[in-house]
């Protein structure tokens, strides 16, 4: 993998069309610096339904090409970490079976092929959950297949699967620390 001279690697953040912790994910994106956003077609719609704005000063890649052209950026060494949050059942299922036919599933696949660490906030974590619909909280009952797919994703190399916003914050902090330690000069 080549690294562009003078360009410090960035976070890549992929948003799917899952409403689960959608607004909280946007808040975390706004708190990060050096982040590029990859937004699925469904996420564009969900953004409007939850009346959310993406940060104005962030580079945003939309799902407009069949080949997911922007994911070529992973091959340029521009990213140290991919965060997929929130990750819909659809994206997790495709990712687990190696399917990459959308912008976000392509980000996950190409991150894997470029050995870029991925942090995925999978939405389907328990047989019964409360999720935030555009009009307020609703109960949701992920199916056995959804829970199995989340479990399978945990077995992927170079992938951290988190199940709550707190775990996501911790995983981002741990990744930051790891990157800082890697960049620090070694004594002696």
Please report whether residue 85 would count as binding ligand FMN according to CB under 6 A.
no
Candidate residues 12, 26, 95, 123; the one interacting with ligand FMN per rule CB under 6 A:
123
* 39/172 with CB nearer ligand FMN: 39
Q: Which two tokens stand for residue 19?
A: 């409403």
User: What letter does residue 155 receive in the DSSP assignment?
Assistant: T
| Residue 84 touching ligand FMN (CB under 6 A) | no
> Which of 82, 57, 87, 85 shows the shortest CA–CA distance to 71?
82
Query: According to CB under 6 A, which one of 85, 90, 150, 160 is a site residue for ligand FMN?
Result: 90
Q: Would you say 38 and 107 are in contact if contact means Cβ atoms under 8 Å apart?
A: yes
Secondary structure string (H, E, C) spanning 49-100: HCCCCCCCCCEEEECCCCCCHHHHHHHCCCEEEEEEEEECHHHHHHHHCCCC
Closest residue to ligand FMN, Cβ-based? 17
- Do 79 and 116 touch, CB atoms closer than 8 A? yes
Query: In the complex with ligand FMN, which residue's Cβ is closer, 127 or 134?
Result: 134
Q: Does 89 bind ligand FMN (CB under 6 A)?
A: yes
Binding region for ligand FMN (CB under 6 A) out of 70-78, 82-90, 111-119, 172-180: 82-90
Asked if 42 is part of the footprint of ligand FMN (rule: CB under 6 A), the reply reads yes
Q: Which residues bind ligand FMN (CB under 6 A)?
A: 16-20, 40, 42-43, 46, 49, 88-91, 102, 104, 123, 131, 133-134
């Amino acid at each position: 993998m080549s690294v562009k001279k003078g360009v410090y690697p960035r976070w890549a953040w992929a948003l799917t069309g899952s409403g689960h912790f959608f607004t909280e994910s946007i808040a975390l994106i706004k708190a990060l610096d050096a982040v590029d956003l990859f937004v699925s077609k469904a996420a564009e719609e969900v953004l409007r339904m939850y009346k959310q704005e993406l940060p104005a000063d962030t580079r945003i890649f939309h799902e407009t090409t069949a080949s997911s052209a922007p994911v070529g950026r992973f091959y340029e060494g521009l990213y140290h970490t991919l965060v997929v949050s929130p990750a819909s059942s659809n994206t997790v299922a495709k990712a687990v079976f190696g399917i990459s036919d959308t912008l976000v599933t392509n980000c996950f696949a190409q991150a894997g092929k470029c050995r870029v660490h991925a942090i995925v906030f999978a939405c389907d974590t328990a047989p019964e959950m409360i999720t935030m619909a555009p009009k307020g909280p609703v109960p949701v009952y992920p199916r056995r297949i959804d829970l199995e797919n989340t479990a399978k994703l945990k077995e992927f190399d170079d992938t951290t699967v988190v199940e709550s916003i707190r775990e996501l914050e911790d995983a981002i902090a741990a990744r930051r620390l790891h990157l800082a330690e890697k960049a620090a000069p070694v004594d002696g």
